[in-house]
Amino acid sequence: MTSRSRSGGRSARRALRSTLDVTMQPALRRNIPLCEVMDGAQVETIDAASMDILENVGVHFRDPIAIEDWKSVGAKVVDETVYLDRGMVRELIATIPTEFTYHARNPAYNLPFGKDHSIFVPMTGAPYLRDLDDVRRNPTLDDLAMFHKLAHMSPALHSSAHHIVEPYDHPISQRHLRITYSSMKYSDKTFMGMTTSPKNAEDVMDMCAILFGESFMESHAVTTGNCNGNSPLVWDETMLGAMRAFCKRNQPVLCSPFVLGGANTPASVPATVAQLNAEALSALSYTQIIRRGCPAIYGHYLSTVSMKSGAPMAGTPEISLMNFMIGQMARYYDVPWRTSNTLGGAKTFDAQAGYESASTLSAVLHAGANYIWHSAGWNEAGMHCSVAKFIVDAEQCAMGYKMAEGPKWGDFDTAVAAVPDIGPGGHYLGHPHTQENFQSAFFMPELFDNNSIEQWAAEGSVEITERALQRARFLLGEYQEPKLDEAKDEELLAYIARREREIPARDELNQSY
Amino acid sequence: MTSRSRSGGRSARRALRSTLDVTMQPALRRNIPLCEVMDGAQVETIDAASMDILENVGVHFRDPIAIEDWKSVGAKVVDETVYLDRGMVRELIATIPTEFTYHARNPAYNLPFGKDHSIFVPMTGAPYLRDLDDVRRNPTLDDLAMFHKLAHMSPALHSSAHHIVEPYDHPISQRHLRITYSSMKYSDKTFMGMTTSPKNAEDVMDMCAILFGESFMESHAVTTGNCNGNSPLVWDETMLGAMRAFCKRNQPVLCSPFVLGGANTPASVPATVAQLNAEALSALSYTQIIRRGCPAIYGHYLSTVSMKSGAPMAGTPEISLMNFMIGQMARYYDVPWRTSNTLGGAKTFDAQAGYESASTLSAVLHAGANYIWHSAGWNEAGMHCSVAKFIVDAEQCAMGYKMAEGPKWGDFDTAVAAVPDIGPGGHYLGHPHTQENFQSAFFMPELFDNNSIEQWAAEGSVEITERALQRARFLLGEYQEPKLDEAKDEELLAYIARREREIPARDELNQSY
């Protein structure tokens, strides 16, 4: 590696800087057809199968408060099993908003959410990172801040998420405070709220109240929390408690069955969707018992399981098909939905990672997902977040964004008028229409190298991992902090200081995806 | 690299061998919705713009025979410019068959072609390969044979194509004979016919006549030839002569405008499609002047151009959008169509190659392409065919195949019946339905590693390139030649010997993609 290829040189940096625009793209408004692989009768077949499961098999709510809540609305409850009548389910989910605005601290970065809109949210929950030198190690709060800065600098990412990586240099029992502060401080985009315990979720709500105002939250979504189910058909106390903390403050949660297809679901794509759908409906229904009309998001974490090794797999055909089907079910119930994007099991940022991520990105866009989580950095089945992959994935989201917007017809007449100007055998590079439109007409990826092999070799034979790490270093050098209001910043820090005095420093891991 | 991880060990080889099934999958029958990004009016807008171009700008047919042919059907011709009246175009293309059977020498490998069917064809035309040791060098006839064997051993590939790599150890003027023989000999799947000159194309036709019989060819498609246009709006003598050689024998050609979007087309997605569509229509029309009712395929080679470097780009959003649109135009004219699959510009088999290939594979399946060329091995903008990538791409085609077949509902009732059997909190691994169906329910990629990093490290930290090369060595070790009929083999060899005496050994390159 020559220093020239590593740094790109002073003039190259200047050129990069002059074209750098980190303004966030608005929420994607999709304008391509949805890939709907089920006809109306098949959608109803899934619905009926899910309702049969809810009524006859039931769902375990392993939480005394939830059990009481279900009894209070007249559900049949036997021990921890709740039998959900289909009429009750339909009536409960009917009050979930079809769409809402997801607020950021920078109002210019507010996001219309639901229906034709999609947003890209980085990965979260990695216990390791591959860092700026591609070294795999445990992350720190500084590493987390780095990812929040990179999310801020990536125009197609709509959120700084929350614990992109787990900061191991801070006690786990207090970590949610520092994670939330980091999300709020280093970016003014939307962010996610930690749901690692009911108490932690309350802290997040209190910090949101400092940032946005208690009463504003009563009628505006300012964060999202994720609640994983334990498939098949179980919701636990931690997740249900966190769900209550969010819903009581009118903040949306993602109701996410955690599916390892074939291991905790039947070995069938439609039957897996039927079970997952039942699980999602049970949690979505519960959000409306907690607070009628509270926004909620149909979620899922979806992998299939290798019957050779038991390992989760991603980028497989069934993941695509299930995404198409889940999208149809969410639309059937008129509820916005979440999916996962760049899942994969590669250990390094090799071609496997590229295939897995691109296959999934394409599928979730054709599926019409609203909340496209894990959109940057995911590798090794979520065990690490890769800086290099984060950068490339973020550009892939920008490319997927442009694809999903559909073709642009605005300049069609003038563009076609160039054809007689040029005529057979000519070329268009000097034509005024080309000069005016080439920047916007065809996406030019920064991270893909399309030069000749001779040019590439002359520049040091740099593969994509190192190119992306160079880009990450450049972006971090250019990062400008979107300053928090000083009074709010002080109030947040005072809240954290108080809570860190109150909460014993413990280190058991209780992680949500 | 330990010898254990390299060879996989004797018992691992035995296990692999016991599950190895190289039977070709039938032509894919797609059962997912088409991604149609244009409404009916927009399709007609493109059609009208293309017809205006054909009538008013005209197309250069740089070939005296073609010019005479056009005059003979009453077209307006000025020098080499043919002005195609839209009525004449519509009337000519109306006789192109919507679908036909593409015959292989093994009748079990015949392919229904057109409409909902798709076939995967390997890349062709690479002047370099990355070999079994990932070394980049010029290929030989043995290397070509190796790729023909690998195509034969890949169930989702439907063809051995023709010159996957250029065999540099044989004079170029005679090369087409050896290439064609290699395609015919090492696989009994369908193959492509060389179109590097009119004479070469005649040789291919004669060799096909030996293999299939002269009169059989009169009513059956037994190969496909590619004819590239020179965008904008030029067809040259070489391609038109080769086209005549094929069409006269009733063999289909791909009519493929060679588009470098922004350089030889306007800087606009819909305007590029309008020009490309005009170009394809002009050649499709000419096939029907040569021989009324002859099968023909709407083709294209499609990249966009980086305005920074002039390099072709692949895996970009506009490539996907143009594929969706071209598919709509081909269906509007009721003609089967060809696309390119795994195009990309990476210099090695790195993550860039994975992203580019998977993005394109997904797009062309959603676009509903019939003839999915360049489906395995393509890298470095076509400058090399990578053995490793060939193997992984072939598996990706198998995965895309399964996705595009849509969900399987056959066992839905028994699969859903497993849910009450297992109940909340259980697991499905031991359930009879799982035991019976796990092999077919969820695709398990051979080339993706989904093990833990500890397991992966214990096995030698092998990235996907080396895993794929191991797989290639294994497949080549297991390869069994599908023997040619002895009399036909002798006749083919005698033909080649005679033609090699007749054709001067020359070495100018005249390559078709």
Residue B137, φ and ψ in degrees, nearest 5: -160, 170
CA B86 centroid distance within chain = 30
Strand A234-236 relative to strand A297-298, pairing: unpaired
**pLDDT more than 70, % of chain B:** 97
| pLDDT at residue B11, as a whole number | 76
Q: Which residue of B has its CA nearest to A56?
A: B420
| pLDDT at residue A445, as a whole number | 96
CA distance A511 to A172: 10
Q: Any idea of the CA torsion for A338, A344, A348, A354, to the nearest 10 degrees?
A: -90
Q: Tens of pLDDT along B204-260?
A: 999 999 999 999 999 999 999 999 999 999 999 999 999 999 999 999 999 999 999
B441 to A318: CB separation less than 8 angstroms, yes or no: yes
| pLDDT at residue A32, as a whole number | 98
Residue A228, φ and ψ in degrees, nearest 5: -85, 135
DSSP A27-47: PEE--S-----S-HHHHHHHH
- Would an 8 Å CB–CB cutoff place A83 in contact with chain B? no
pLDDT above 60: residue B510: no
| pLDDT at residue A15, as a whole number | 76
Report how far apart, in Å, the C-alpha atoms of A351 and of each of A316, A369, B186, B230 are. 15, 25, 29, 33
Average pLDDT over residues A248-273: 97
| pLDDT at residue B509, as a whole number | 54
Strand B81-83 relative to strand B117-120, pairing: unpaired
| pLDDT at residue B9, as a whole number | 64
Average pLDDT over residues B256-281: 97
CB contact set of A254 (below 8 Å; sequence gap of 6+): A224, A225, A226, A227, A297, A299, A338, A371, A373
In chain A, residues 156-195 whose CB comes closer than 8 Å to chain B: none
CB B61 within 8 A of CB B235: yes
Burial class (CB in 10 A: 0-12, 13-18, 19+), B240: buried
The residue ranges of DSSP E strands in B219-305, in sequence order, are 224-230, 234-236, 253-261, 297-298, 301-305
pLDDT above 70: residue A197: yes
B407 to A448: CB separation less than 8 angstroms, yes or no: no
For chain B, the average pLDDT equals 95
| pLDDT at residue A509, as a whole number | 54
CA distance B248 to B296: 12
How near does any CA of chain A get to the CA of B34, in Å?
A: 8
CB A298 within 8 A of CB A337: yes
Beta-bridged to residue A29, according to DSSP, are A117
B441 to A366: CB separation less than 8 angstroms, yes or no: no
| pLDDT at residue B506, as a whole number | 83
E strand or H helix at A224, and its extent?
strand A224-230
Please give the structure tokens belonging to residue B29.
């029958």
Q: Any idea of the CA torsion for A113, A114, A118, A122, to the nearest 10 degrees?
A: 60
Interface A-B, measured as beta-carbon pairs within 8 A, has a size of 412
Average pLDDT over residues B330-334: 98
CB A93 within 8 A of CB A87: no
A313 to B437: CB separation less than 8 angstroms, yes or no: no
Closest CB from A232, A324, A362 relative to B426: A232
B407 to A321: CB separation less than 8 angstroms, yes or no: yes
CB B465 within 8 A of CB B134: yes
Average pLDDT over residues B288-297: 98
CA distance A260 to A56: 23
pLDDT above 80: residue B511: no
Q: Tens of pLDDT along B246-267?
A: 999 999 999 999 999 999 999 9
pTM, 2 dp: 0.96
- Would an 8 Å CB–CB cutoff place A307 in contact with chain B? yes
| CB-CB neighbors (< 8 A) of B136 in chain A | 453
pLDDT above 60: residue B106: yes
Model confidence band, residue A309 (pLDDT cutoffs 50, 70, 90): confident
Model confidence band, residue B380 (pLDDT cutoffs 50, 70, 90): very high
CA distance B329 to B18: 46
Beta-bridged to residue A378, according to DSSP, are A385
pLDDT above 50: residue A334: yes
Q: A352, A375, A462: which to substitute to probe chain B, counting the most B Cβ within 10 Å? A: A352
CA distance A176 to A192: 11
Average pLDDT over residues B290-316: 94
CB B374 within 8 A of CB B342: yes
Comparing CA positions, the residue from A162, A40, A20, A183 lying closest to residue A105 is A183
Model confidence band, residue A307 (pLDDT cutoffs 50, 70, 90): confident
CB contact set of A16 (below 8 Å; sequence gap of 6+): A8, A474
DSSP B259-273: EEETTSS-SSHHHHH
| pLDDT at residue B507, as a whole number | 75
pLDDT above 60: residue B512: no
CA distance B101 to B269: 33
Q: Give the CB-side neighbour count of residue B273, counting CA atoms within 13 A.
A: 29
Q: Which residue of A has its CA nearest to B461?
A: A347
B424 to A53: CB separation less than 8 angstroms, yes or no: no
Q: A360, A419, A464: which to substitute to probe chain B, counting the most B Cβ within 10 Å? A: A419
Model confidence band, residue A13 (pLDDT cutoffs 50, 70, 90): confident
E strand or H helix at B371, and its extent?
strand B371-373
CA distance B33 to B106: 32
| pLDDT at residue A9, as a whole number | 64
CA distance A424 to B239: 16
CA distance A148 to A161: 8
Please give the structure tokens belonging to residue A33.
């057809």
CB contact set of A294 (below 8 Å; sequence gap of 6+): A96, A247, A250, A251, A252, A287, A288
| pLDDT at residue A2, as a whole number | 37
Q: Tens of pLDDT along A375-405?
A: 999 999 999 999 999 999 999 999 999 999 9
E strand or H helix at B385, and its extent?
strand B384-386
- DSSP code of residue A54: I
Question: Which residue in the block uniquely carries the two structure tokens 């151009």?
Answer: B305
CB contact set of B283 (below 8 Å; sequence gap of 6+): B227, B229, B235, B243, B255, B257
Model confidence band, residue B97 (pLDDT cutoffs 50, 70, 90): very high
| pLDDT at residue B2, as a whole number | 37
Beta-bridged to residue B226, according to DSSP, are B254
Q: Is A181 left (phi over 0), alpha (psi -120 to 50) or beta?
A: alpha
Average pLDDT over residues A410-427: 98
For chain A, the average pLDDT equals 95
- Would an 8 Å CB–CB cutoff place A385 in contact with chain B? no
B350 to A42: CB separation less than 8 angstroms, yes or no: no
pLDDT above 70: residue A108: yes
Q: Give the CB-side neighbour count of residue A52, counting CA atoms within 13 A.
A: 15
Beta-bridged to residue A6, according to DSSP, are none
- ipTM score of the complex? 0.96
pLDDT above 50: residue A37: yes
E strand or H helix at A283, and its extent?
helix A269-290
Determine which of A38-52, A111-125, A451-465, B13-27 has the lowest per-residue pLDDT on average.
Answer: B13-27
Q: Tens of pLDDT along B141-179?
A: 999 999 999 999 999 999 999 999 999 999 999 999 999
Average pLDDT over residues B314-320: 96
Q: Tens of pLDDT along B30-63?
A: 999 999 999 999 999 999 999 999 999 999 999 9
DSSP B403-446: HHT----TTHHHHHHHHHHH-TT---TTSHHHHHHHHHHS---S
